[in-house]
Amino acid sequence: MPIWSLYDMVHYGHSNQLRQAKARGDYLIVGVHTDSEIAKHKGPPVFTQEERYKMVRAIKWVDEVVEGAPYVTTLETLNKYNCDFCVHGDDITLTVDGKDTYEEVKKSGRYRECKRTQGVSTTDLVGRMLLLTKAHHSNIDSSDYQQHTDNFGTVSISHSPWTGVSQFLQTSQKIIQFASGQEPQPGDTIIYVAGGFDLFHIGHVDFLEAVHKLSEKPYIIVGLHFDQEVNRYKGKNYPIMNVHERTLSVLACRYVSEVVIGAPFAVTKDLLDHFKVDLVCHGKTEIYPDKDGSDPYVEPRRKGILRTVDSGNSLTTDAIVQRIIKNRLLFEARNQKKEAKEIAVIQAMKRQEEEKTKEKAEAVRRTVHNDKLK
C-alpha cells in the first residue's frame, strides 16, 4: 500500500503520477499538505488546503486522502498508515533548508519512483497565468514564452530540469491510460456536459459531482471544446491549458466516463442521437451564444432534457488567474527560490559524480603503476 504526498496546485501531471503509483500497489493513500507547510517550504499555495483535499479525492486512482500530511515523509508516517512504501516522481522535493524530503525512506528501501510528466509543472502553469500567453496552445517558439522561462529561472544561466518549461506531447497511449474504457451499460443515465474545463479545478469537480448525483447509474460524457472555440467565447488568451492537457485533466476525474475531444459548440440533434443522451447539464455560469448568436442549447431545451445544476461553488478559471496576478511578486520569488535550491542540488550531485570519476581514474592509474613495478 503506497502513500503519496501532493503539495500544491493539482494538475494532470500529478494525476499521471498517482496513476503510476496505484499501478504499483493495491491501495493508494495520498498525503496532502496544509497551506502553512507549503508556505513554509515552497511559498504561497495556489489553492487552499480544503480545495486540494477535495481535488485529490476526485482523482479516480486515489483510495484515501490523509489531510495535513507532514512535508517530510518519514518511516513513522509510513508505519502509521500501514504503508509498505511511498511513491514520488523522478524530480526532487526539498525542504526550506534544501534537504531531500524523502531521504529517510530512501535509505530504508521503502521508496519507489515513477516518471514525471514532461511539459507541465505548477511553476509552468503559474507562469502561463501571469503572462496569459498563447504560446502554450501550439508548438511554436515564442518570445513571450521565452520570457516566461527567464522570469522563473533568473537565478542561474542553467535551468532546473524539474522547474524549467518543457513541451507536453500528447499520445494515444496516454489517453488510453487515463480513459476508463467502459461503455454505457443498460440502465445507465447518459448525461452530457460541455465546456472548456480550463485549469481543471474544484469548481469543475463540484459541478461534475453534483451532476453525478442526479442518477443512480450516471454515465457522464464531457464535451471539450477546441482551444480556438474556447478563445472565441472566453477571450483574452484563454484557455491556459491546451485541449490535450484539458483532456487528461478531465479524464482523471472519477465522475467522468468519457470525453469528446473537440466537441461542437452547439449541442445538436446529431450529437444527442449519436451518444443516446438522456440528460444535458449546464452550471449556473453564463451560457455563451454560438458564432451566429444562436443558443447552443436550443435542441436539448426543445426536447426538455436540459438541466441547470447548482454545484454551490462559484469558483472560475478567471478567479484562479486573479489569485495568481494578485500575488505575482510572491509567486515569482517562490519559483526562483525553488529553482535555486534545485540547481544547488544538481550541482552538488555533479560534483559528487566528478569526484567518483576522479577516484576511479586514480585507482586505475595506481593499479597500472603497481603492475609495472611487478
pLDDT at residue number 1? 56
More confident site: 297 or 364: 297
The Cα–Cα gap between 315 and 156 comes to 37
Does position 372 have pLDDT exceeding 80, yes or no? no
Sheet with 111-114, strands from edge to edge, namely 64-67, 29-32, 2-6, 85-89, 111-114
Percent of the chain scoring above 70 in pLDDT: 82
Out of 30-34, 334-338, 350-354, 358-362, the most confident range is 30-34
CA atoms within 13 A on the CB side of 47: 26
Residue 154 CA, distance from chain mean position: 25
The pTM (predicted TM-score) of the whole model is: 0.79
* pLDDT tens digits, 285-343: 999 999 999 999 999 999 999 999 999 999 999 999 888 888 776 766 656 666 666 66
Is the peptide bond between 239 and the residue preceding it cis, with omega within 30 degrees of 0? Answer: yes
Average pLDDT taken over every residue of the chain: 84
- Residue 315 main-chain phi, psi, to 5 deg: -65, 135
Out of 11-25, 65-79, 137-151, 256-270, the most confident range is 256-270
Do the beta carbons of residue 333 and residue 147 sit within 8 Å? Answer: no
Out of 13-17, 23-27, 171-175, 252-256, the most confident range is 252-256
* pLDDT tens digits, 82-123: 999 999 887 777 777 778 888 899 999 999 988 877 767 777
Do the beta carbons of residue 36 and residue 146 sit within 8 Å? Answer: no
Work out the angle at residue 31's Cα, subtended by the Cα atoms of residues 160 and 247, and round it to the nearest 5 degrees: 65
